[in-house]
Amino acid sequence: MSPKRTLLLVALTFVTVACICCPTNLVLFPPTPTLPPTDTPVSTDTPTPIFTPGPCSDAACQQACPGLLASIVSASEGYSPLKTSGGGTESKDSVHILVRYPVDGDTLGNASFHAAPADLEAYQQDAAAHQSIWDFFTSIIPAEQRPMVNEFVIFTDGDYEYLAAVERDSSDLNHWALKVDIADAGDHKALAATLLHEFAHLLTLNNDQVYAAYYNCPVDYINPGCGRANSYIDEFYQTFWVDIYDEWAAVNALPEGKVRDQKMAEFYYTHQTHFLTAYASTEPAEDIAESWTYFILVPPPTAHTTGARKIMFFYEFSELVQLRSEITARLCEYFLNPANP
């Protein structure tokens, strides 16, 4: 365990769902795509799907793809989403928003520049790097899956800390911004895992999936809000969170600070076998995002654990199995193309 892990595990706190910030520098992914020990057996009638890494364009890609996906998991070691207190990236003094781009499909519009310290001007002016990061995102996430992304933001807080975030427009719940820290974007495999996590928020927290108002929600579990009937996140909540909701909600309701951080860490350690990562324990929205990332990157698990069940959860939806196939193919073709960085 790295010293930073101990430090940061007790720093788990919450922001509102509007800005979901995902820093680097936390060892939460396991070093290998293994799963927690058995705690809750799954029913024996759970179907085991056949692992298909996706329709790569050629045999060489298909052969290399599983290993490539595993290498993304390995590269993610030390890079995992972690929210911090205070309402997101823009509320931290160390975070500098550098450039905002309007987005139209795959295309970035004209940049609008924010005031930034002189030592960050190189990052701010590096339009080629901004475009490269955006192209990476659009190359791995199909266009029809991201119509809600209407802004792309380049920021930095220096090395580590935040890596990426998604932020929902408070005035239009169908519009989201994708934010990436240019200082941390050079490790494309770590960035890939984080972008998969961010995309999970777009997939599960968009306006078609959730209510963001208290009055629609008998149980408030998305800080604030809840999933609409038959939404992915509500199915996930009903399956995995009902039994631990009261305990989590009591911690979640505490005012931000050291006591709450410690209680949230205790909640994780109490229920460690329920979660694929510590960050997943911070709320259902992060749990489903972390589980989605594993769903994309690892073969279907055969272990009978809650973590395995969370990965298998997505196989219940044929459209998500199809999407997994497409994303894995895109990932593999990107990384196996020597022309890409």
- Of 28-36, 91-99, 229-237, 288-296, the window that binds Zn ion (rule: CB under 5 A) is 288-296
The tokens describing 203, both together, are: 């997939």
Looking at residue 276, the DSSP 8-state letter turns out to be S
* Closer residue to Zn ion (CB): 54 or 81: 81
CB of 237 to Zn ion, least distance (A): 16
The one segment of 84-92, 129-137, 262-270, 280-288 that binds Zn ion by CB under 5 A? 280-288
Q: By CB under 5 A, is residue 78 in contact with Zn ion?
A: no
Nearer to Zn ion, 291 or 306 (CB): 291
Contacts of 89 (CB under 8 A, 6+ apart): 19, 21, 95, 97, 155, 157, 162, 165, 167, 179
Distances (CA, A) of 24 to 61, 184, 212, 221: 29, 8, 27, 25
One of 8, 9, 15, 20 touching Zn ion (CB under 5 A): 20
**Which one of 81, 88, 301, 307 is in contact with Zn ion (CB under 5 A)?**
81
**Closest CB 289 distance from Zn ion, rounded Å:** 5
Residue 296, sorted as left (phi over 0), alpha (psi -120 to 50) or beta, turns out to be alpha
Partners of 118 in beta bridges: none
- Reading the block at residue 101, the tokens are 């781009």
Query: Which one of 18-26, 122-130, 260-268, 305-313 is the stretch in contact with Zn ion (CB under 5 A)?
Result: 18-26
Cβ closer to Zn ion: 20 or 298? 20
The tokens for 51 are 């692992």
**Contact window for Zn ion (CB under 5 A) among 79-87, 183-191, 225-233, 299-307:** 79-87
Q: How many residues does the chain have?
A: 341
Q: How far is the CB of 64 from Zn ion (least distance, A)?
A: 29
Q: How far is the CB of 198 from Zn ion (least distance, A)?
A: 7
CA–CA gap between residue 71 and residue 179 (Å, rounded): 24
Binding site for Zn ion (CB under 5 A): 20, 81, 286, 289
